[in-house]
A and B are shown apart, each in its own frame.
With several copies, the nearest count.
Chain A
């Protein structure tokens, strides 16, 4: 396979290389990795309000947003911390700093019942092991349930985050193993099998609005609910994204290029992750 493994970051794309020259512009601008582009692009989508943060990539991006353009963003973790302001993204969703810096710490039943379930929270921010054409997410098993090829961690808070947040942002590295025609297991519902399914199921949030990858940005077509490529990250081609997608990916008529990470964004991100620029 030529696609990167989903658990290893892509190599850095140096500024001026064919991959990013078109947009990063200024000579001497910091080189950045595809993961950094992905994280910055995801952070930009968080504009304010409240965000129910999954662990891993979502947590880094949400913390980056709070450090840059969205200082009032309210971070909510399923461990029960509301308004956490960690100095560094936590390794687990229950690190002590989350509780120490939170506006309020509530029990786990309360965070799901009083805060998530009623649709009080603006953005649900999720990762995925597989995602399909209709933005359904699998974090349970690769292969069959009874005899899995890979047993993944499972649902956690994701099914109800995907159901109840007013909208959902997904952040996931793109590859044909990850972007599949149909997920092996629906852990969290995107648009089910298409238009009207969320309403039929009684899911009250509007579902995934944005899927941000290391290659670009996908958004659901407002009519068909199918994911469509709407942005390419600098230096990435449509062919490369289509090769990394397990279905016949539609491309938006007005396909745009993502603004590359600015110096302030990169500095803030690297301060968070501890990576040297």
Chain B
């Protein structure tokens, strides 16, 4: 049964030090506002899960919130590297970062298994690559009918899943559309969940391509207009490609990064 609460309260209720937390949104509807709130609340030792860790995970990692990253593609899409992620992996700054690395197909299926109440998923994947030698939880599995060998990955069931959506109604039923990525699976796989939304409306109107998550499958809903910036919320905002490009310069240097975070994330707390 979803309850609609302010963002700081939702994050405070749901995210604890040491939790596994999945912030999903496949280039679209990335829950930046919620990520910033996690940073402001000073969470530590998080296991961060995300197919495409982009700037928000660069920020969480650079601010020392994470001890482990489970991911399949960690870059600044169309721009280049995530410098804070690289600095953590290559130089252990600000803290060592364990990584568990998959392919997109692997993580997507691990979420599907998690959402489905299964302990594992089967896919044609990883075979012949060096990933299984570095990610121990990728295992072979044999088809009981054909004898063919395929690949199994364990289900992902995060302690908390956080996604951003366009709308919710007052009961907490959520509607998102456009590129819907793996958000439904992440929410359904998680023990607890938070959906931030552009706006809360009286009634959800059916829309082409919309995914609806009923309120009884969600823990908290929080209004966070613009909460996906610099990614976008189709129908509400456009992707701020300029910011993605600018981030490359901001994040390249530790001090520039910290100054930016201080000015744009940490000191904005009071304003909310």
Contact = CB atoms under 8 A, between A and B. Distances in A.
B124 interface: yes
A148 B90 contact: yes
Interface residues of B, number: 68
Nearest to A145: B134
A156 interface: yes
A202 B149 contact: yes
A70 interface: no
Interface stretch (A20-28, A105-113, A169-177, A228-236): A105-113
A171 B232 CA distance: 29
B249 interface: no
Question: Which of A147, A152, A160, A163: most chain B Cβ within 10 A?
Answer: A160
Given A118-B115, A188-B129, A92 B77 contact: yes
A7 B27 CA distance: 23
Contacts of A116: 105
Interface stretch (A29-37, A80-88, A255-263): A80-88
Contacts of B115: 113-114, 118
Interface string B194-216: 00000000000000010111101
B137 interface: no
A18 B89 CA distance: 45
B12 interface: no
A69 interface: no
A214 B80 CA distance: 20
Contacts of B51: 108
B101 A159 contact: no
A246 interface: no
Contacts of A95: 27, 239
A96 B128 contact: no
Interface stretch (A48-56, A217-225, A237-245): A48-56
Contacts of A187: 129-131
Contacts of B216: 49-50, 74
Interface string B148-159: 111000000000
B181 A186 contact: no
Nearest to B87: A151
B90 A151 contact: yes
A151 B85 contact: yes
Contact of A159 (B116, B126, B238): B126
Interface in B135-156: 148-150
A140 B90 CA distance: 13
Contacts of A154: 71-75, 101
A105 B127 contact: no
Contacts of A83: 214
Contacts of B179: 79-81, 94, 96, 98-99, 105
Contact of A155 (B85, B102, B184, B232): B102
Nearest to B208: A105
Interface stretch (B37-45, B106-114, B253-261): B106-114
A92 B239 contact: yes
Contacts of B105: 112-113, 116-117, 157, 159-160
Given A74-B216, A96-B238, A99-B234, A113 B123 contact: yes
B78 A55 contact: yes
Contact of B123 (A80, A117, A155): A117
Given A108-B182, A153-B74, A158 B103 contact: yes
29 contacts: A80-B179, A91-B241, A94-B26, A94-B28, A95-B27, A98-B179, A99-B209, A105-B209, A109-B112, A109-B182, A114-B115, A117-B105, A117-B123, A118-B116, A118-B188, A147-B90, A148-B89, A151-B74, A153-B81, A155-B73, A155-B104, A156-B73, A159-B125, A160-B105, A163-B127, A164-B117, A187-B129, A189-B129, A201-B127
A-B interface, 6 closest residue pairs, ranked by CB to CB distance from nearest: A94-B27, A118-B117, A153-B75, A92-B77, A156-B73, A91-B78
